[in-house]
Amino acid sequence: MSKGLKGVVAAQTALSLVDGENGVLLYRGEHARELALAKSFEEVAYFIWHETWPNEEELQDLKKQIKGDRSLPEHIRSILSSLPLNTSIMSALRTAISSLGTDEYGWKPDLGQAITLTAITPTIISYWYRRQKEEKFVEPRDDLDFVANYLYMLNGEVPKAAHVRALEAYMILTMEHGFNASTFSARVTVSTESDMISAITAAVGTMKGPLHGGAPSGVIEMLEEIGMIENAYQWIEDKLTKNERIMGFGHRVYKTNDPRAEALRQIAQQVGEEDEWLALAHQVEERVIEKLAEWKPGRKLYTNVEYYAAAVMRALEMEKELFTPTFSASRMVGWTAHVLEQASDNTIYRPQAEYTGKVPAL
């Protein structure tokens, strides 16, 4: 038995390769870190959905489709407006996406549905974020691309180009990552010949769990607790002595440098070379790696993507409650691509469980 299906191959996919031993993440054969530094969100989304790179006309068509699907339907606004203000953004996102499930979303799922869900997710997030802050909703702008429009809807101001590029790199790096828990939830759901909306609702519900989507918040709390670099060694020693987890280091898959963290480290330096907080993050990273090697030799604990995701988010002045929703807005591309791939050659998932209860005498 493999508890939690760890290491069990459940299906085949052409979407991404996650090679943890060698620190490699490929999207359809291309290094994700290189795409994050050179491509736009829309270009990489097209590539993941289609397996080919778009020409200029195809790219503009995709951008037009995304812009056309950004607006919130009135019934979604009504539902969101009726939710209690203490509803988390992820819970509001899950509820809103589920409410999109009209008759037009049936079996089989199609690419148009994937584009719609990707387009509308940032709008749902920003609508609920601003409602919680008792601020007026900022309608999407047709002259802004995906990432710039997301930042604009959150803050009500056209973002700086450097900030757009930083967030775009992060969202490309988190767009797809193999058979993680939320992706598996989506594929299991659609394998029953359920619809795209049900599959993505399942994925969002899975992402909501802190073991999957909550790590960047923990990194910022850690760095805020350390405060100054002079406190780092003692703080790390205390954590290791108590055998407590240090957020942002180690990964269930990567046993060497996380390629996503390497790319984000470059982006973080570009966004805020003089930023004291980013300097603290870099110095703490060096000391944690040094101490982990000393205390846990052979464990191969390196910086993961969440560490520098937190650095980038902090540089963008993005609040903690937006981290997991933003992650979900990018992963929507991967989730929907997996739903389409599952539906194209479908077999229902039907694992067995090992019974450990009582058995009556025969």
Provide the pLDDT for residue 45. Answer: 98
**Residue 153 CA to its chain's centroid (Å):** 19
253-306: pLDDT as tens digits:
545 667 778 788 877 776 655 456 667 777 888 888 888 878 777 666 777 777
Mean pLDDT per 10-residue section of the chain, whose length is 362 residues:
69 88 88 93 98 97 97 95 95 96 87 97 98 96 96 94 89 92 95 96 92 70 84 86 78 64 77 64 82 74 78 82 93 98 94 88 81
Rounded CA separation 332/118 (Å): 6
Catalytic residue among 163, 177, 251, 338: 251
Whole-number pLDDT of residue 1: 60
- Catalytic residue selected from 306, 317, 319, 321: 306
**Residue 285, both tokens:** 């990273």
Of the chain, the percentage scoring pLDDT greater than 70 comes to 91
Domains of the chain by start residue, with CATH: 15-209+320-344 (1.10.580.10), 215-315 (1.10.230.10)
Which pLDDT belongs to residue 97? Answer: 97
Instruction: Work out the number of other CB atoms within 10 angstroms of the CB of residue 48.
Output: 23
Per the prediction, the chain carries an average pLDDT of 88
pLDDT for residue 2: 63
Could you give the CA distance from residue 44 to residue 331 in angstroms, rounded to a whole number?
A: 12
Q: How many residues does the chain have?
A: 362
pTM of the model: 0.88
306 is catalytic: yes
Record the tokens describing residue 344, joined without a space.
Answer: 């194209």
